[in-house]
Amino acid sequence: EFELADYSILEKIGEGSFSEVFRVKHTRTGQFYAAKKLTKLYFDPAEALQDSEIRVMKMLDYHPNVLSFVDILHDEATGNLSLIMELMDMSMYDYIKNRKRCLSEKRVKRYLYQMVCGLNHLHRNGIFHRDIKPENVLIKIPRKLKENELVQLADFGSICSTSQQPPYSAYISTRWYRSPECLLTSGYYGPKMDIWAIGCCFYEMLTLNPLFPGENELDQLYLIHEIVGSPSAAMLAKFRHLNQLDYDFPKRKPTNFRSLIPLLSHYGVDVLNRTLAYFPEARISAARLLQHLYFEDVSKSSKSSRLSSSSMPCLDEADLRSKNSSRKTSKNSPQSACSLDRRSNGSSSVGSVTAKQKLTMEMMKHKNLERVWGMNESPGKARLVQQIHTSRLCNS
Return per-residue pLDDT of the chain as tens, 396 residues.
Answer: 678 989 999 999 988 778 899 999 999 999 999 999 999 999 988 888 888 888 887 888 899 999 988 888 998 889 999 999 999 999 999 999 989 999 999 999 999 999 999 999 999 999 999 999 999 999 999 888 778 899 999 998 888 888 888 878 766 778 999 999 999 988 889 999 999 999 999 999 999 999 999 999 999 999 999 999 999 888 888 887 777 666 778 899 999 999 999 999 999 999 999 999 999 999 999 999 999 999 999 987 776 655 444 444 333 333 334 444 444 444 443 333 333 333 333 333 334 455 445 545 544 444 334 434 444 445 555 555 555 556 555 555
SS3 331: coil
Question: Do 269 and 149 fall within a single domain?
Answer: yes
d(CA 178, CA 243): 15
d(CA 276, CA 198): 9
Does some domain include residue 143? Answer: yes
Question: Do 141 and 23 fall within a single domain?
Answer: no
Question: Do 169 and 207 fall within a single domain?
Answer: yes
The CATH number covering residue 31 comes to 3.30.200.20
Prediction pTM value? 0.76
Question: Do 96 and 223 fall within a single domain?
Answer: yes
Q: What are phi and psi of 76, to 5 degrees?
A: -65, -30
Residue 37 marked ligand-binding: yes
In angstroms, the Cα distances linking 353 to 142, 306, 314, 356, 357 are 21, 20, 11, 8, 6
Question: Do 97 and 82 fall within a single domain?
Answer: no
Active site annotation includes 194: no
Angle at 138 between CA 135 and CA 139, to 5 degrees: 130
Does some domain include residue 394? Answer: no
Q: Which domain holds residue 46?
A: 3-86
Catalytic residue among 6, 51, 131, 341: 131
